Homo-oligomer: A and B are copies of this chain.
């Protein structure tokens, strides 16, 4: 069984298997709302009264977004779900229902499809999401995972990219640079000298930041419920691009104090070590900043807050840091050192088709 390929059970055998696996995880309250689920032409769901519908979709390709040499299928499934959740919560929404489209080679092992679903289900369960439908098709080569996620948001609680005003403060959740650094280590592009337990532990932490990100569900919920943000986005394309998207949509500029950007602890600790610094082409702190700004695949929140609410946000929303301020559009986006001098950084976020 364990090494059986999906060609043995075929499309409809696979759907039957997925249906069973998914449905036994439905909670009683979920079952009540799912009027039709997997195995029908479409899912039918009871909506929540007056609330607005929030919907997003993300496609992940093998060899572009994930690599089975670096991550197991459960991790891939978990992370794919996180990426969609992050989009929903960044709008102020609560994720609820997922549709899963898989394109798989017929050589794929059944246990790997099970693993993929296990990861998505585990993540779904943690955040109250049910899988209600999908599609499975054959792929001549690489696997493709597309998740469409539906959620809800109360009227008046939607947070757009476009609401930032000059004078607003820029805040972020969590820390940055860990996922990007973890990916470079996984790919063998950053070879870190030193075999001490300490270095090994740091490396492991960074890799885990990349493979096992956590969406900021609790933080986003507080921000949305208490209407604390004027604009919000998730940082999946990297902190720098997130700032650019907010500034573009809001027609403003931003100044950011580099020193205030929270750097993943393990990255900070590693890059300040003498022996490690020699493996970088840059000064350690600068290299850490470049990971933080351009690394991407971090699912933190980047949001703006009117000046008088900053104290309240820092008190009420866990894991938040103020990193800068919204300025007029003509300033563009400027990174400043502690003497308020602009620092020109060479880096670029990840953009599909351009690499």
Contact = CB atoms under 8 A, between A and B. Distances in A.
Given A7-B354, A10-B351, A57-B133, A42 B139 contact: no
Interface stretch (A142-150, A179-187, A325-333): A142-150
A149 to B, nearest CB: 8
Contact of A153 (B44, B104, B249): B44
B44 A56 contact: no
Contacts of A88: 41-42
B150 A64 contact: no
A63 interface: yes
B56 A133 contact: yes
B146 A40 contact: no
Interface stretch (A90-98, A170-178, A305-313): A90-98
Given A7-B354, A135-B59, A144 B99 contact: no
A100 B59 CA distance: 10
A58 interface: yes
Given A148-B99, A352-B11, A354-B10, A41 B59 contact: no
A132 B141 CA distance: 30
Contacts of A63: 140
Interface stretch (A22-30, A46-54, A190-198, A276-284): A46-54
11 contacts: A10-B351, A11-B352, A41-B87, A42-B55, A42-B56, A42-B87, A43-B54, A53-B150, A58-B135, A101-B148, A141-B142
Which 5 A-B pairs rank lowest in CB-CB distance, beginning with the nearest?
A42-B56, A148-B148, A11-B352, A41-B87, A59-B101
